[in-house]
Amino acid sequence: MSTQIAGPVHIAGQQVLSSSAVQMHNLGEIGFSNDGRAFKYVKNGAVAMVQGKLYQAPAEVTNHQNLTPVAAAIGAVEVTTTLGATAAAANQYAGGLLVVTVTPGEGYAYKIRSHAAIGSGGTGTFVLEDGLFVALTTSSRIDLVAAPTSGVIVNPTTASSAPVGAAVYPIAASEYGWLQIKGQASLLADGAITVGTNVIASNATAGAVEAGADAADLQANVGVALSGIATTEYGPVMLNLF
């Protein structure tokens, strides 16, 4: 099969504190600085990044979920389906997953290599990196999930995917660069945060973090405060988004 796993990289092709119109690493590639911090290579979305803010994977598209595939045999590397009332740009899902949610074939997730542009309500074919392990029928259902590092957005107050990292540099719109995913970093605080306590994604200020006070807080965990942080200020957080 074509899916391979390799070790992490040293940051060399593109420096951490930079923005590039040219892609210099594979999206999702992880690199380490010599002090143990970890970074993930991403493509920014349509709005320039703000350093010190939390970023999320592209928002889910509900009209690209629970889709009915055309029947496809074991080993097939193409799956055809009809979208709901939202168009898909060419290769919007390249590097993402085609997830089989209803049997036959449920539980398998296949990496998407490419696809053409598909109009709202249109039918399109998704080319996979690996062939199907279980045949799909019209009883199967599939979800399309974008690559989490392609087109990242500032973490919204209402989660529409998962956090992927903290911005350490103002990467330009639609350009490439690194988000920090582990180690000491600076993040915007929504509300006062106490040193040594858990911090979670804010549900009141986009791109901020807040204190994880109790079981009622359902936002994603981000890390632990390295010092007390006053509200609306930027402060040190030990990130754990690996």
Residue among 17, 31, 24, 23 at smallest CA distance from 167: 17
List phi, psi (to 5°) of 62. Answer: -65, -25
β-pair type (30-32, 9-10): parallel
Beta strand segments in 63-192, E? 78-82, 97-102, 109-115, 123-128, 141-145, 150-154, 163-167, 176-188
> Nearest-5° angle of CA 214, CA 216, CA 221?
70
Cβ atoms within 10 Å, residue 11:
20
List phi, psi (to 5°) of 185. Answer: -150, 170
CA 208 to chain centre: 17
pTM of the shown model: 0.92
Return per-residue pLDDT of the chain as tens, 242 residues. 444 545 666 656 788 999 999 999 999 999 998 888 999 999 999 999 999 999 999 999 999 999 999 999 999 999 999 999 999 999 999 999 999 999 999 999 999 999 999 999 999 999 999 999 999 999 999 999 999 999 999 999 999 999 999 999 999 999 999 999 999 999 999 999 999 999 999 999 999 999 987 666 789 999 999 999 999 999 999 999 98
The amino acid that residue 82 corresponds to is T
CA distance 105 to 112: 16
